[in-house]
Each structure stands twice: as structure tokens, then as C-alpha cells.
Amino acid sequence: MTGRDSGADIGPIDDAPVVVLVRPQLADNIGAAARAMANGGLFHLRLVAPREGWPQERAWRNASGADRILEAATVHATVPDAVADLHRVFATGGRPRHIVKPVLTVRAAAAELRDICARGLRAGILFGPERAGLENDDVAQADSLVRYPMNPAFLSLNLAQAVMVMAYEWWIAADETPPRRLMTNETRVATKGELENFLAHLVAELDACGFLHNLPKRPGMVRNIRHFFERGEVTEQELRTLHGVVTELALGRRQRGRDE
């Protein structure tokens, strides 16, 4: 439990924002939140008056190896104590009344958090207790509110899930993965020349077997076949397989003596 320095390597610890769990009720959720933090590269955890005390074995059981986050977590008596060294504080959760504050979507908050950290300032994100959420006095410690724009008919967000979405947006805000690309592994995308070569092979066999015997329709039929093969990025490996398929189908036809 505590004291052990095991757990997974979770990557380099940086000056990412601090996650502050305010009066969390269940140690399981603290562990699950730590796991979500590790997934999204948020490494600093502070606990304000955890109801079950701290540390708790069940947190480690739910952290799935994110032990370093739990071991480095600090416990604080109050929210002001937990945020005293931070420059900016964001509060997640509902929309309290009688409050005048900027409200950001999770995505906009993540972008702002990246900007804050790039300026060398430290930020924190408050998450309230499982049932009740943050109280007005907690929210008053924050300079901005973070809103999760999700299904208004079912807003009951699990604590670790709320942390997950924030951690996810934090990571994504600096991620440059292309939105879409073809994974080709050992092979590569075929050139247009290689595709043309295959189409010539296919059309020759289709001519030979009489599939394209209707001459007025032939150009349109060839074009339809071409459209299908041009649509995706066919790979060089797939073209070789398709060459084999056409050759073998044609050969079988010839061997069965039905060659036209």
C-alpha cells in the first residue's frame, strides 16, 4: 500500500495541473481517478478531507498501477490550504446560483490550462464529492467553472469519469495525432501504376471469360469496377493477393474446360 514504490512507469512527471479531490467519499474512486489521471498525463493529486481517511488499500487496488500518483498525493484539511500555492483554480461540476464566473467547456478549460502551464504558472482543478458536488464556498476559491456539456437528461457523472474526461482533454490539447490515417503495417499504399496494372489484369480476364461481352455497356462496367478499387487506399500487398485471386479463378475456370 503506501510506502511501496512499485507500480507502473507512468511517464515523466511534469508541471501539469493539480487534481484536487474535495472531500471524496470512496477510496475506490480515488484510485480510479488516479488511473484516469495517469492515462491523461495529470500526475499531481491532492485530497481535501477524504471521508475514509488516507491512505486506503482500496485506492491502490483501483489504480491499476498508477501507484506513483497515490504515493505522492498530499492530504489537506481545507480547499484554501490545498490551493494556496496555485495561480489559477478551476472548479468542475454544476452551475451554482448567485455566482458570477466564467464558465468554460472541458475542452476550452484544457486549452486554457495548457496556456497557463506554458506561462510557468501552476493550476489546479477541483472535483467535488461523489454525491453532492462542490459547495458554494469551494467554488468561491476558483476563478473559473468547468462545464461538461453532456446529456442533460443524465448528468450523473462518476467522479473518476469526470477526472477522465478532463485528463483526456488535457492530453489531447497537446496531441498531434493525425485524425485519420491508413495503418499499413508491413506493406505500403500501392501506386496508381500498380493499381492500373492490376485493373488491366482483371479486365483482360473479364474480357477473356466474356463478362464484358456487351460492348455498349463495357466502358461503364469497367468504370464501375475501377471506382470500387480506386475508392480506398489499396496496398501493394493487397494488390498482389488480388492478382492471385484473379489468376486462380481464371485458371480454375479454364481447367474445368469452360474457358470461352
Binding site for a copy of itself (CB under 8 A): 8-12, 32, 35-36, 38-41, 64-66, 95, 97-105, 107-108, 111, 145, 147-158, 160-161, 164-165, 168, 171-172, 175, 177-187, 235, 237-238
Q: Looking up cell 484516469, which residue turns up?
A: 36
Cβ–Cβ under 8 Å, residues 237 and 194? no
Q: Residue 201, exposed/middle/buried by CB under 10 A (0-12, 13-18, 19+)?
A: middle
Residue 104 CA: distances (Å) to CA of 94, 199, 201: 12, 54, 58
Least distance to a copy of itself, CB of residue 28, Å: 11
Least distance to a copy of itself, CB of residue 89, Å: 15
Q: In sequence order, which residues have a C-beta less than 8 Å from that of residue 235 and are 6 or more positions away?
A: 184, 187, 188, 189, 190
Nearest residue (CB) to a copy of itself, 12 versus 257? 12
Least distance to a copy of itself, CB of residue 217, Å: 29
Nearest residue (CB) to a copy of itself, 234 versus 250? 234
Q: Looking up cell 472548479, which residue turns up?
A: 91
Nearest residue (CB) to a copy of itself, 98 versus 258? 98
Angle at 143 between CA 139 and CA 146, to 5 degrees: 70
Nearest residue (CB) to a copy of itself, 111 versus 222? 111
